[in-house]
A = this chain, B = another copy of it.
Amino acid sequence: MRRSERIAAITRVLTDNPRRLFPLKYFTEKFDSAKSSISEDLAIVKKVFESLKLGKVETLAGAAGGVRYIPLYPDTEIRRILTDLCKNLSDPERVLPGDFLYMTDLVFMPGLVNKIGGIFATYFFDKDPDCIITMETKGIPIALMTARAFNVPLVTIRRSGKVTEGSVVSINYVTGSSKKIETMSLSRKALPVGSKVIIIDDFMKAGGTVRGMLELMEEFKAEVLGVGVLVETAKPEKKLVEKYISLLILESVDNDTDSITIRPGEWMQEAGL
């Protein structure tokens, strides 16, 4: 195999397996090449990923060493993605009766949710979660793509205990906005006690659901490293949870005037983006 061919193959493997550590041996055996050749190939791949701002290619030395690709979105790209998304979400056609915003189509769009997962993974770059936690249904795609970027499992909290999940831990929680009592459940098998987790969800109003998820995590003695939501509403200003980031802030939805006001969240300033 020529160098350019090896480089195509290495790039394919790394891109398709974010954060997975490949020992150099994996490539020397696959391409029947010397370690020195593979090291040079990796240096080129590293340089390209850096110059195109696609993330970091890390080489770790030693017996347990190897190479891994950490996808990271540059600030300009994050700004562009979120600005485009705000534009799309501002379409008057998205106003639903009761001043709700229709965003179901977008949270199931594979290309977009892949990017959103990448943005969360960029923000929580220095965290090392054992898994990503979400609640069914609309949070699943963005949480799955975040889990993919971290190369960890996704664990999905259910709205009811299902018989096919074995013994479950259920809690009641009060939704922050409509003050209704709801139930959420998680199978004991799904999450090892003492796990480090990041919570990802699609929407936050008063924060009752996320607070419920935090309480459920306490039942599993989990350490919550961070909370990320795609969209939060500007009102109520006081949320039931303190530490979280939101990618977008929904200022208002007005059924009478068919208008929507939505903008990227403040975390971008805080993070220096």
Contact = CB atoms under 8 A, between A and B. Distances in A.
A151 B110 contact: yes
Interface in A125-166: 136-137, 140-141, 144-145, 147-148, 151-156, 158, 163-166
A156 B144 contact: no
Nearest to A100: B164
Given A8-B44, A105-B189, A16 B15 contact: yes
A86 interface: no
A49 interface: yes
B166 A102 contact: yes
Interface string A43-61: 0110111011010000000
A16 B9 CA distance: 14
B11 A108 contact: no
24 contacts: A4-B4, A5-B48, A5-B51, A8-B11, A8-B44, A8-B45, A11-B11, A12-B52, A97-B166, A101-B164, A102-B166, A102-B189, A104-B164, A104-B165, A104-B187, A105-B189, A105-B190, A108-B144, A110-B144, A110-B147, A114-B148, A137-B137, A137-B140, A140-B144
A154 B47 contact: no
A109 interface: yes
A45 B49 CA distance: 17
Task: Pick the 9 closest A-B CB pairs, nearest first.
Answer: A110-B148, A11-B11, A108-B154, A8-B48, A136-B137, A100-B164, A15-B15, A8-B11, A4-B4
A233 to B, nearest CB: 12
Contact of A8 (B8, B155, B165, B166): B8
Contacts of A102: 164-166, 187, 189
Interface string A6-26: 011111100111001000000
Nearest to A103: B164
A113 interface: yes
B12 A15 contact: yes
Contacts of A48: 5, 8-9, 12
Contact of A158 (B137, B152, B189): B137
A155 B105 CA distance: 7
A193 interface: no
A39 B43 CA distance: 24
